[in-house]
Every structure is written in C-alpha cells, then in structure tokens.
Chain A
Amino acid sequence: MKKAALFLWLALAAAFPALADTLRLPLSQLTALSTLELRCVSDQREIQVPLPERWNLKRLVLNLRYTVSTNLIPDSSQLVIRMRGEPVAQARLNPLAPEVKLGVDIPVKLLVPGYNALVFQVAQHFSKNQCESPCSPDLWTNVSLAESYLEMEYDWKAVPTELSSLSSFVFDPRLMPAGEVHLVTEDDSARSATLAGIVASGIARRFDYRRVGFTVSREPRPGVDNVLIGKRAFAVKVLGEAAVRPVKGGYLKVLPMRTAAGVADPTRAMLVVTGESDLAVKIAAITFTNISFKFPGTDELEAFEFKLPEVEQYSGRETIRTDQTYPLSTLNFPTQSFVGINPGSRAITFRLPPDFHIRPNQYAKLALNFSYGAGLKSDSSFNIAVNGKGVRAVALDSASGNFIDGYKLDIPTYVFQSGTNTLSFTGHLHAGGQVCDLIQPDNLFLTLYGNSTLSFPPMPHFVEMPKLELFMHSGFPLTRWPDGHESTVWLTEKSDRALAAALDLVGVATQRNGFPLFEIEFTHERPKTEGEVLVVGRVPTVPAELRQAAPLKIQDGDVIVPYPVVRGWNAEFTQAATSRQKSALGTGRALLMQFQSPWYPGRTVTMLTAMRDEDLIEASRALLTSAAQGQTKGDLVLIEPGDPDPKVTAMEAGSPYATGKRGSYSPLESFLYTRPAAYYAVSAGGILVLAVALFFFARRWRQKRRKAG
C-alpha cells in the first residue's frame, strides 16, 4: 500500500511539474556590492535572501562560482556556506583548481519568510607551520556575484482574507522578480485615473524598492492580484451584489480572485476600493494606502475619515532634515561592534533633498561615541568615508583601549551629493606583536554606539534643471511636496495603456521618495494651476506646444533632433547639432524628456511619449529596472525596451532653467542663473550705464555748485 502511494505521488509529481514556479536569481540582484571578496586569514560576507510570505518554497539550490588565490594551502583553507547560521556546505580552497563551480542544495526548512542571511565564510592560509601575515595580499577568495545564482522552486500560498495581509503578504517587497498588479477602474475619466493613481502609489510604496508594474482595464485580470476602484454600483456590476454590501463611507474588502473560468483562485487577491460617492472612494483609497501594519484582522472595513499628518516639503524616505540632530540609531544604525582582524564596513544610507545646493563652506557635524579594546597595534584605525571617499581615519592608538565620547568631526558638505548618500565606517584592527607571535583576536573590537549623532547645516534649495536623474533618485520635482501637491499627471489621451504607463512612473516616484502621492491629480487637459507636470501619451496626441518645448521636437510637419557632436568630460558642455528633418520616432522605442513648462516658467514638464500604446507601457516597464534608472539622466532619454536590460540613450539637449524651494524662479532669474555669461554681461552693462547716467547728473550738479549754490 505504501509502495502504491509512493508511486502515485511520484507519478503525480511527474505529471504536474508546472504547478511549481521556478526562479533563477543571480546573487548580484541581492546585494549592492559589485564584488564579493573574502580576504585575510578569516573573513565572512553576508547576502540577504528574500523569501516572500506567500511563497511555499519547494527547493533552493545555490549555484556558486568562485575563484581562489593560487597561493593558498588547501589543507588549511576552507569555504563554509551558512544559511541563517547553519552550515550548509563547506569546500576546500584548492589552488590547483582555482576556478570552482559549486552546487549547494540548501534545505528549505532553514529559510523563513522575510530575509535570510546567506553567509560565505573563509579560513585561508598561504603557509603551513610557518609564520604568516594575517592579512597578506595572497589571502583572497572571490565569489562571482554575476555568475552565481540561486535557483528557487516554489508555489503560491492562498491569500488570507484579511485586509492587514495586504501590507506584508500581497504587496510584499520580497516578491521576486517583480510585482504586478491589475487595476480595474470604473471608466477612463480623469477622476478614475486620479483614484487609480492614489492606489497605485500606495501599492508601490508597499513594494518598497521592488519593482511593480500596473495594468488597467474595466474588467478583472486573472492570474495577478487585482484592485477594483470605483463606486459601489460599479463594484456590484463587476463582482456581484454579494461581494459588496451597502455602505455609507469608503469601503475596502479583500476577496479571492477568480480564474478566467470563474473558479476561485485563492493564491491571488482581489481588493475592492469603493464607496457610494467619489469622496468615499477617495477616503477608501487613502485608507488603503496607509494600512501599514496588521490591522484590521477582518476582510473588510468601512472608512469615514482619514486625517493625514502635516506634510512638509522635502520630507520623504530616509531624508535628512537640516534642523535636526540625528542619533545614528534613528538612521538604522544601532550600536554595533567591529570584531576581529578584518571586521569589514558598516554603512548608513540616507538621502539629501535632490535640489540641495551644496555650498563649499558648510560642514555636516558627526559626533561619535565609541570604545575599543586593549592591545591594538598602534596602526589600528577606524576609517570614516562618505560615498566611498575617506574623510577621516581615527587612530586607535591607546594600548590600554579607550572610550571616546563625542569625537567631533566636521565633514565638508561638498563630499555629499543631493539624493542618496552613504556614510560608512570601517574598522582596521591589528593585533600587536611580531609576525610569529600567537595572535589573540578576541581583544580586537571597536564598538560604535548608536547615540553618536549626525547633523546637517541649513542648505538652500537650488538646482539647475532639467535633470531626469533627479526624477529617478527621488521623483523630483513631482515629489517636492512629498504627497504630490502641486503635481499633475496629464494623460494626453484616454487610454488604459497610457494610464498604466503613468501609474508605473508614479510608482517609481513613490518608491524613490517613500511617501504616497495622495495629492497628485490626473487630467486629460492642460493643467489649470501652476505646478509640476508628468505628461504621458502617444506622440500624435501630445499638444503642439509641449512638442515644441521639448528638447526633441516632433512637430506635425517635421522633427528637430539634437545629435550630440562633442561630449566633453563634463556632460554640461555637451554640444549638439540640431537636424530638421521629416522623419518619425518609429516603433519599439519611447522618449522620456524633461523641459521647462511653456506656460509656467520654472516649472517642469516630464514627458513619456512613443508612437504606440504598447511602446509606452514597454518603456514604463523598462524604466522600472535599475539598469534603466541608472542610465536615465539629462533631459532627453531614448528607451528601447529589451531583454534582459533595456537600451537607454541619455543626453542633454534643451535649455537649462533654475528651480528651488519656491518651486520656480521668475523667467528672468531662471535665465540669468543658468547663463552666467549673460549675468555678468548685464551686470557690466548696468555699471556702465549707471556710470554714464551718474556722470550727466553729477555734471549738472557740479556746475550748479560751482556757480552759486
């Protein structure tokens, strides 16, 4: 009987291999490190392996590719791989076979939903029974992050019918390789698009940095998570009377999706965001975007009001304010110890507002509290670096150890950059004694306390635009007000694909800034109020004024194209030749452009356009990838979606203008700020004219004084 059952199980397993999904994930996608090199006699590095809560992991194989130093002694050199502390494999580091491919089957029971530490640990030596320098350059092992990968086999768990599961289970940043959500909207109006924008922004925020793509239509789409947004009548029409009960306020409910055949699919969720009125739907949408922890435990809620906190300009994810002193513990850097001979680095990542004007005479203040052990060699040090550039090496030169309270360091602000910055600390702890002395590593420690502080001086807001890289860094300028206040998405046609592409970009901005864009408005007409604009639409539907103002001008009759001729070392001095021609953008590509608003000087228009709808959506998906985001800069970006990475060509071709905290400068200010030669010419002209005018005034006065009075 047992045999028969086993046979049946094996037969079923062979018959339905497709029931489980497989994902091949290069290690390079799991870490920001470019290389993983293990140095010295002892070293270890860690990679966090995400496991989504809704995955039922069946199998996990680590395919490792590494290179060892040919000077190592295999008998005493070893690589150990640990998953969440448990050794899962060990291998000799053999210099005779320095290029190694290793397959490690990792027991899935070791992994838990969330992040799992995969540790590579080495013990390596280049001399046997002889003295050796513990950090000799001969001692290295390099793991290739690009060629090593994890193979994950999994199937999907049923979605719990709890609203609180949305924040951790459905829209889960650990979901790989990307999230995909379908939005079901009531109609193609601007009102529905605005509501979809709020919901998409909330979803993108849940996914954190994990890319998420949106699709939009009037009907649910099986096989992915869906969100229905619209008034109750629409929800009833789509889902049936039973699914949505009569309500007074906004209403949220989570249901299992149905397949195309109408069968329930518990592995996918259908979220209903509805209400009797537009306002109620909006309250529901905002409430949804803010459910950030496991409450409520029910599958539905009725929302009547949502009070938002006071939003300040330039606040956002990991953004440092200039009027505050931050203990490092609040910057996700609790008290940490650096232990051993090669304790590695720890870093704090934070962001400065993208339009900070960094002045050369200002200093960020870092006050460190740290202690270190006794018996360190006098050349031991504690290095501090900003964005990879060393700013101070603190000597750890007290033989009896020390506790230092308030070690003050003024770091020039010019070593920082607007956007993301990294402040890293590296311990270089050396043991005393001669080479052949027995090394006692237990005293080699340095503890940096979380009550150390970092503060920035007040800095003005000024930036010369256009700079698409700022959009990719933080969604600037749409996110100058973090909730999208004063920002509008202008859809030049009523198209679900154009809307989906716009939602993808709204999602990027939200993820970069970390704040849902509650206040962003969608429109199909020219925005009536002053503000920043994101324009999405096919080329023929884009108004002529916008096409004329863009750096690449696709006009009705002809096209004016800037072709880079000379690109200096500094991209600011790129010279472009402009060609007037009769041609077209073509298919399979899209343009992302940024330029000054033709109606509101100092305000910015960011425009995604292509010849076809599908190109728009392909381009917006391409822009979700880090490869495309990293290459997006300047004011004119040509995107050619491709696999695995899209092809991105960026350049500066348009006219510069200035913007700052006020949002805009007058046209004259903007002109002068971005054209120094004109500024100095006007100043010199003013002085000359004033001198001449004063001369005539003074001459008259002088004559009068010389005569009688």
Chain B
Amino acid sequence: MAALPSIPTREAIARWLPPTAVSAPVVLAAGIVFYMVNLREAHFSQVLQLAAGWGCLAVLFGMYLAPGSRRAPWRFVFLLLSLYLAMRYMWWRTFETLIYTDPWDFLGMSVLFIAELYSLAVHFLQLFVNFWPLERDPAPLPADRSTWPTVDVFIPTYSESEEIVRLTALAATQIDYPREKVRVFILDDGGTLARRNDPAKSEEAWRRRYRLKEIARELGVEYLTRESNRAAKAGNINHAFAQSDGELILFLDCDHVPTADILQETVGHFLEDDKLFLVQTPHFFCNAAPAERSLGGDTPVPDESEMFYRVIHPGLDFWNASYFCGSAAILRRSHLEEIGGLRGASITEDAETAFELHRRGYRSRYVSKPMVCGLAAEAYADYALQHTRWAQGSVQIMLLHNPLFAKGLSLAQRLCYFNVCFFWFFGIARIVYLVAPAGFLIFGLSIYHASAAQIVAYSLPHVAATFLITDFLFGRTRRPFFSEIYESIQAVFLTPAVLSTVRHPHKPSFKVTPKGIGLETEQLNVLSFFFFSILILNALAASAGFVRFYAQPLYRDVIAVTLVWGLYNIYLSVVSLGALWEKRQSRKHHRLIVSGQAMVQFPRVRQRLAVDLIDLSLSGLSFHSALDFEVKERERVVVEAASADGLVSYFEAEVVRGSRRGARTVCGARFLMPAQSLPDVVHYVYGDSGRWLAVWEARSRGIAFWRVMLQLVRMGLRGAWICLTIVLRIAWSWIRGRIEARTVRAEAKA
C-alpha cells in the first residue's frame, strides 16, 4: 500500500508562505484583483477599454510626479497599478489575440508571444524583488575590542597587474580594525606550481610569484599559492580557506580597493545575528564601462552596476535573498565550513554559495554603502567576457539547482533567485523584438492579431507604464532608454552564450575579466555588425511598411503601429552603433569627480588656502579656488588632506595646469610621491567611503527631461554619423579601388 503523504508541518508552511500571507485581507484583496483581471474587459465598448487603459496610466503618471509616491503605502499603490496594467495586457494578449491563421503565422506569433511572456514574467519578478528595498541601520561594534571577531582578508588574483594587487593589499592593511585581528592574504593563482612548471607560462609565473611575494613581504601581508589551478577562483579561495582561521572572511577582488571603514560598517551585523552568513556591500567602479563612456557624453551617467547595487540588492535584502557577489563581502567561516567552502558547480561560485547557505536557513544582509573601489572592464571584449560569465553562471544555477523548487528556501527567496537566473535570457526576447516588425511588414506574417484601437487601449498603456515603473524604481540609477540600449548590446553576445549553456550546462568554464587594460585607439566594435544587420532589416521593413500602408488600406492601423515599432528599432540600432564606438582610454589612474574641500599650501607666495576639489585620483587632483595670484606651471604645492577619520596627511605636488575661469582659478596638480607617502595617498584617495557615496549621489542627480531627450537625440545622431562614416568609408574604398584598378590597367596598357 502506498504511503500516505505526510501533512506539512507548521514550520514547512511558514517557510513556504510569508508570515502574513495567510492573513485574510491580503489574500482576499489579491483574489479580488485577480478575479477582476481574469474577468477581462473584452466585453466592454472599445471606448471604455481605452479610457480604462489611459485612465490607469494617467493615475500612474500623476503618482509618478507626486512627491510622496515613492514612500509606502503609496509606493505599493503605484506598483500594484502598474502590475494591474501589465496583467490586463497579458490577459488580453493571451485570450484575445492568439488566433491561428496559418502555420507560418502561428510560428511567428508563438515566438513573439513567448518573448512577451518572458518579458512580463521578468517584469513581475522585478516588481516583486523591488517591492520595498531595505535601508539598514548601522550595526555598531561593541566598545570592547577584544570581543570583535578575527577577520581574514582574501585577495585572489590570477593575471592582473601586480600594481593593482599592491594597491588593494595596501588599502587592506589600512582597514580600521585591530591589527592583530586582521590577516591579509594575497591568493595568487597566476603563480601556481602547475603554471610554474608549464614551459609556456613558467617565466611569467615565476616572475609574478617573486614580485607578489615581495609586495606581500613589503606590506606585511601573506602570500599564498597552490599546486594547480583546479576549480579556478573557487578552488583558489578554498585552498586559502583551509590555511587560515579568521572567524570572518572579507573577500576582495584584486582590483577592489577597500575603504578603511569596511569592517567597522559590516562586522557588527555578525554580532547581532548568529545565523548571518553574509554581509554584502556594493561594488563601486571608478571608471566607466565602454557603453557608458560612449553614451554618457559630457554628463556623468550612473554606472551600469549601480542599478543592481543601489536598488535591486536592497530589494533582495528585504526578502532575505541578498547574495554573495564575489567581492566586497564578508562571510562567516563557520557557516562556510558547513558546505565545504565555496561551491563550484557553476562559474558563479559566489551566488551558488549564497544559494546553498540560504537553503540551509542562514541569513544574509546587505549594507548599501560603497566600501570598495574597483575597475570596470575597459573594452567591449572584456565587458562581454564578464557579462557572459555572469549570464552563464546564473543559467547554470537555474539548470543545476532549479531555485523555484529548491528545498529550504522561502517562497520569496525562490522567486528572487529565479529572477536572478531567469533575467539572463533577455537577449533572446530582445532579438525577437528587433526582428518582429520585419516579419509582418516584409513577409506579411500576422504575428500580432490586434486592431489599432486595441493596441492603443492595451499595449501602449502597458508599454508606457513599463517605462514609468522602470524610472520610478531605478530612475536614480538608470537613465531612460539606457536599459534598452544595454540590453540590445548585450543581447548580441549573451544569446549564443546562454543557449550554449542551456544545451551543455556543465561546459562553461571560469574566465577572469581583464582589468586595468586601456584602449589605445578609437574603434567600432565587431558587435556592430549585428546592429548593421538589424538596421538594414528594419529599414527594409519600414520601406515595405510604407508601401503596404498605401496598398492595404484595411490594415492601415496595424501597419502604422508596426511601422512605429520598426522605426524605434532603427533608432535603437543607430544608438547602439553609437555606443559600440569604443573611445580611447589610456589614463593610468582613473579620475573621479569628487566634491569637498582641502587645504593647499603655495610655498612660493607663502599662502595656505582652502580649495574646492573637482576630481581626484591616485596620481593627482584638480581643484578650484579664488586665488589672487597667478599659478605657474610646475609650481610646487603641498596638499593637506584630511581623511574621514580625521588623519591629516601632507602631499607634495606640482601644478601641471592652471587657468582662470571668472574669479576662480582651476588647477590640476600631480602628486610627487616618494614611496613612503604612497600609503597616505592611498588612504586619502581610497580610504573614505563617504567619498564614493558622494560620487554615487552626484551621478544619480536627476537631470531635466528635456536634457535626457536631447541626450537621446544626440546619441541617435552620433550613431547615425557613425553609420554614415562607415558607409562613406566603404564607398570611398570602393571608389579608390576602382580608380586604382583603372590606373593599373591604363599603365599596363601604356
């Protein structure tokens, strides 16, 4: 006789359902809303459907403009209203527009519908994840320092330059924490025994090993390497894990320079909660990724990762689903030991490790304060490599661990992890959207059975609401339309990578993202080929659309809508081409736009003045001040730099440029750095997390809508100019070829 299924325990039910989800009002109200959406409005007159769609949108827009709408409970009204519009659209799309006409139409219709379903699912998941991002209060450490836990700092490295490692290790030694309770480890995977014995890599491996050991000795930190490179970064860390004993471990990528307060801001959380396994902090980048560099123009643009670290991750934290991002995070050794260190089934060992510990009921927190400063990938190739690894690793987790049905996770955690993994399929949907208008306009496939009135009543309010909600949630960290451009660009390289992972989930291997490698020349990235194809396809589609518009008057409304879609795709392609124009990037140390004051001594005129900082880097700074004397080139100055902890350092510098702007003088100065003052400079430049916070705020400062639109137009023009340049170049090379050939023929004849 088959055993009866056991009755789930109260704990099991509680794990599955959020604590108050069983409360009647939520269930009842959710039931009512679902019931109403499910009833649908198809039976009402079109005027009513139209009024409902745009009425909802008008309310959303009103709330979007209203000052208090981002605060609860209005925030929830906003989210639910946008959810309602999306569900209304999805129900309409599913029950009213899926009509079989013929096999090819059906195929096209199915592909588009699946792409839309995917987008809507991701949209719903995003609304859930960003339901109410958590802002945490600081968790101060107790006054008795002897009770503070010991911390190991792991700096894994593989092929990055030794200077980058030195900088990070140096900053690690300056972390504000009892010296005896911190051990810093450089985990060198570039100098392993296997590499040293490999004839092709031996010389470089030996050289790297000696150099890094020397740096370690110089800084008083420990150098560790291992026999082989098995299990890549996870293996490297696990090797060090076995040879260290700190209660907590701070993980730092070798280009992530920590601020002095990183442990002060995080370790206290571990003392508050025994079941806490992770405190993750944001990754802050001092340089712009390639797309931002191309798109940003003169205005500082929020970093691509800011949306994740400033909004999404606090959202994940609300649901106890903040996960390990590989660096700038502190983990508790005892909990890690339970699972044998970092997990390595996927190439995103960090997320996989957090997933496993969440499954075991441990908790995580997120402190939304940037306390490391890192380097973003400089070139598109590196950018693609990095994003491909994230995408492949996330897809691996989805396929190998299936977060939706993983035991031990709460329902919210399941949805959050699923969102993290599922998100990476966006490339496929994006390509479908780029190609779809051509299906109808060129090939006449009926893939979207909707009248213009229905599109206006359902599709447009939903699309507009999506833009509104995106800006509502992420507006501080992502400019309008930038997500579209980022996704379009990433779609090109992520789609094949994701599909290949789906086919062979165990195949992807860990590849280190090269950092600190500049670009010598400006160039159009090879990915642009794809956008040229999309541009041509949509241009053909638009031409066909204009012909159809006059030839098929019965379809004019649908043709007009598809035509607009095609033109939008053309715009997106053109802007993407503009973004794929890689700018030259040869600066040794990246300059950061900062604010604040410093004191500068001008020995030549015997003056000591307060100046306003403009930018700052490891090699120098710019400032402006109302000077009543002329600054000379190569003039020596002394910068009095007061760190956040009150420590004042004096750096000698020389003026490299000086110019007057109105009543103020703008100066650029280069530090004259003897080796012994490097720690002070590092401490001043990188030691203050408040500085990175200020940079974040400066980047996210809202700009006027017209300026955003202007920027978008400029981006379009730039893309168009690039297209034109390329077409002219091709035309010129063809003409030149013809002329040369003719000349050669004439000469031969002569």
Q: Report B27-66 CB contacts with A as 1/0, cut-off 8 Å.
A: 0111011001101011111101000100000000000000
Asked if A708 CB lies within 8 Å of chain B CBs, one says yes
In the complex, chain A residues whose CB is within 8 Å of the CB of B245: none
A691 to B81, CA, bound (A): 9
Q: Please name 18 further chain A to chain B contacts, defined as beta carbons within 8 Å, in addition to the given A360-B454, A691-B76, A709-B320, sorted by A numbering.
A: A361-B97, A361-B451, A361-B454, A362-B99, A457-B99, A672-B39, A679-B39, A683-B33, A683-B84, A686-B33, A687-B77, A690-B33, A693-B26, A694-B73, A697-B18, A701-B18, A705-B318, A706-B136
Within 8 A of B (CB), among A450-508: 457-458, 460, 462, 464
Which of A359, A669, A687, A689 has most chain B Cβ within 10 Å? A687
In the complex, chain B residues whose CB is within 8 Å of the CB of A676: 41, 44-45, 48
A365 to B555, CA, bound (A): 14
| Structural contact, A706 and B134, CB atoms closer than 8 A | yes
Asked if A128 CB lies within 8 Å of chain B CBs, one says no
Report the contact-size class of chain B (Cβ under 8 Å from the partner): 35 or more
Query: Can you list 22 contacts pairing A with B, beta carbon distance less than 8 Å?
Result: A392-B554, A410-B554, A410-B555, A457-B99, A457-B101, A672-B39, A687-B81, A687-B84, A689-B25, A690-B80, A691-B80, A693-B23, A693-B26, A693-B29, A697-B20, A698-B132, A701-B318, A705-B134, A705-B317, A705-B320, A706-B136, A706-B137
Asked if A238 CB lies within 8 Å of chain B CBs, one says no
Asked if B445 CB lies within 8 Å of chain A CBs, one says no
Asked if B3 CB lies within 8 Å of chain A CBs, one says no
| Structural contact, A360 and B18, CB atoms closer than 8 A | no
With A693-B25, A694-B26 as contacts: A357 and B451 at CB distance below 8 Å: no
Q: Report A289-301 CB contacts with B as 1/0, cut-off 8 Å.
A: 0000000000000
| Structural contact, B26 and A697, CB atoms closer than 8 A | yes
Which of B43, B46, B84, B317 has most chain A Cβ within 10 Å? B43
Question: What is the distance, in angstroms, from B467's C-beta to the closest C-beta of chain A?
Answer: 20
Which of B44, B134, B320 has most chain A Cβ within 10 Å? B44
A696 to B28, CA, bound (A): 14
A690 to B20, CA, bound (A): 13
A-B pairs with lowest CB-CB distance, top 6: A690-B29, A695-B73, A686-B32, A693-B25, A360-B451, A691-B76
A693 to B29, CA, bound (A): 8
| Structural contact, B36 and A658, CB atoms closer than 8 A | no
Pick from A357, A689, A696: contact of B43, CB below 8 A.
Answer: A357
| Structural contact, B72 and A698, CB atoms closer than 8 A | yes
Asked if B332 CB lies within 8 Å of chain A CBs, one says no
CB contacts between A and B, total, < 8 Å: 129
In the complex, chain B residues whose CB is within 8 Å of the CB of A359: 42, 96
Asked if A109 CB lies within 8 Å of chain B CBs, one says no
In the complex, chain B residues whose CB is within 8 Å of the CB of A460: 42
A675 to B136, CA, bound (A): 47
Q: Report B521-565 CB contacts with A as 1/0, cut-off 8 Å.
A: 000000000000000000000000000000000110000000000
Asked if B310 CB lies within 8 Å of chain A CBs, one says no
Asked if A3 CB lies within 8 Å of chain B CBs, one says no
Question: What is the distance, in angstroms, from A371's C-beta to the closest C-beta of chain B?
Answer: 23
| Structural contact, A412 and B96, CB atoms closer than 8 A | no
| Structural contact, A680 and B52, CB atoms closer than 8 A | yes
Which residue of B is nearest A680, CB measured?
B52
In the complex, chain B residues whose CB is within 8 Å of the CB of A391: 554
Pick from B43, B74, B76: contact of A698, CB below 8 A.
Answer: B76
| Structural contact, A669 and B39, CB atoms closer than 8 A | yes
Asked if B363 CB lies within 8 Å of chain A CBs, one says yes
A708 to B318, CA, bound (A): 12
Pick from A410, A457, A702: contact of B134, CB below 8 A.
Answer: A702
In the complex, chain B residues whose CB is within 8 Å of the CB of A691: 73-74, 76-77, 80
| Structural contact, B43 and A658, CB atoms closer than 8 A | yes
| Structural contact, B26 and A687, CB atoms closer than 8 A | no
A687 to B272, CA, bound (A): 37
Asked if B19 CB lies within 8 Å of chain A CBs, one says yes
Which of B37, B48, B72, B84 has most chain A Cβ within 10 Å? B72
Asked if B449 CB lies within 8 Å of chain A CBs, one says yes
Asked if B638 CB lies within 8 Å of chain A CBs, one says no
Asked if B453 CB lies within 8 Å of chain A CBs, one says yes
With A391-B554, A686-B29, A691-B73 as contacts: A679 and B36 at CB distance below 8 Å: yes
Question: What is the distance, in angstroms, from A414's C-beta to the closest C-beta of chain B?
Answer: 8
A692 to B136, CA, bound (A): 23
Which residue of A is nearest B555, CB measured?
A410
Within 8 A of B (CB), among A350-368: 357, 359-362, 365
In the complex, chain A residues whose CB is within 8 Å of the CB of B48: 676
Asked if B651 CB lies within 8 Å of chain A CBs, one says no
Which residue of A is nearest B36, CB measured?
A683
With A683-B33, A705-B318 as contacts: A360 and B76 at CB distance below 8 Å: no
Asked if B740 CB lies within 8 Å of chain A CBs, one says no
Asked if B663 CB lies within 8 Å of chain A CBs, one says no
In the complex, chain A residues whose CB is within 8 Å of the CB of B200: none
Asked if A307 CB lies within 8 Å of chain B CBs, one says no
Asked if B450 CB lies within 8 Å of chain A CBs, one says yes
Within 8 A of A (CB), among B68-89: 72-74, 76-77, 80-81, 84
| Structural contact, A708 and B25, CB atoms closer than 8 A | no
Question: What is the distance, in angstroms, from A682's C-beta to the closest C-beta of chain B?
Answer: 6
| Structural contact, A708 and B272, CB atoms closer than 8 A | yes
Asked if A237 CB lies within 8 Å of chain B CBs, one says no
| Structural contact, B454 and A357, CB atoms closer than 8 A | no
In the complex, chain A residues whose CB is within 8 Å of the CB of B363: 709
A708 to B362, CA, bound (A): 12
Within 8 A of A (CB), among B592-641: none
In the complex, chain B residues whose CB is within 8 Å of the CB of A365: 101
A185 to B97, CA, bound (A): 54
Which of B132, B136, B320, B555 has most chain A Cβ within 10 Å? B132
| Structural contact, B20 and A412, CB atoms closer than 8 A | no
Which residue of B is nearest A665, CB measured?
B39
Question: What is the distance, in angstroms, from B540's C-beta to the closest C-beta of chain A?
Answer: 23
| Structural contact, A361 and B43, CB atoms closer than 8 A | no
| Structural contact, B99 and A412, CB atoms closer than 8 A | no
